[in-house]
Amino acid sequence: MTPRLIVSDLDGTLLGSDHTLHKSTVEVLRALVKQGHHVALASGRHYHDMQVFRDQLDIPAHLISTNGAYVHDPVDTLLAANHLEPEHAKTLIGLPRPPQVRLNLYRESGWHIDSEAPHLLSLHASTGFGYEVVPPAKMDTNGVGKVLYLGDPKALKQLEAQAQEAHGDGLHITYSTIDSLEIMAGGVNKGVALSSLLERLGLTPVDCLAFGDNLNDTEMLDLAGEAQVMANAHPALFDRVTGAERIGHHGEAAVAQWLKKRFGL
């Protein structure tokens, strides 16, 4: 048997509509690990936010967090950390934005936000991960894995254009949802992190099966030998990934269903 690396996004992909793992998903991934396959979770979520799902799976999974800014091995060793240049982070913190747009920083130590936003915590209800409110003027520009703006899509498009004009190739700009603009250092994305992980495991992209649903999954899916795009995916994602297969809805545990057929479980 040729071991494979199975890598999946979380929200909108591996997790159900309630942002939790379906029982069948847990069973299938455990069975595949027992067969000798590798598993990695790749998300825009913070590393500490993702640990809970790995613990629930109870398998030795690698974690690609903050859209590829950080990579941890199954025993929590930090394998890679890629931060924004402090001057770039300073620019992004200072960009003018409407008052309803929330500014967030994902750092190794946690999640900083510019103002209280309790409605955001529902996404993290099952993990208990929360933010610390820090005024923008006091935000530390060192050690920032991601700057995240949350709010009206039109306002985010303006912020995207301003960020691109300011620092161009020094930034990697993407969206995890239509109202979530995510900015990492240039060259930082899930695909680059996945490539380094495959090399570490002694595997090639042909040996990789990837699952995703949004634009921040583009590079990861395009790298994988077998790319699966969810039925609920961003409308533009399928056309961005060469040779992708469209599978079912995340709310119906479609990743688990597909893997059962693929590996004859």
Residues tagged active-site: 9
Distance CA 182, CA 159 (A): 11
Distance CA 123, CA 104 (A): 15
DSSP strand pairing (171-177 vs 180-185): antiparallel
- Eight-state DSSP code of residue 141: -
Q: Coil, strand, or helix at residue 9?
A: coil
- Answer left, alpha or beta for residue 110, where phi above 0 means left and psi between -120 and 50 means alpha: left
Q: Coil, strand, or helix at residue 169?
A: helix
8 Å CB contact between 210 and 194: yes
Q: Which residue has the tokens 């297969």?
A: 245
Which tokens is 8 given?
Answer: 């999946």
Got the DSSP string for 206-245?
GGEEEEE-SGGGHHHHHHSSEEEE-TTS-TTHHHHSTT-E
- Answer left, alpha or beta for residue 154, where phi above 0 means left and psi between -120 and 50 means alpha: alpha
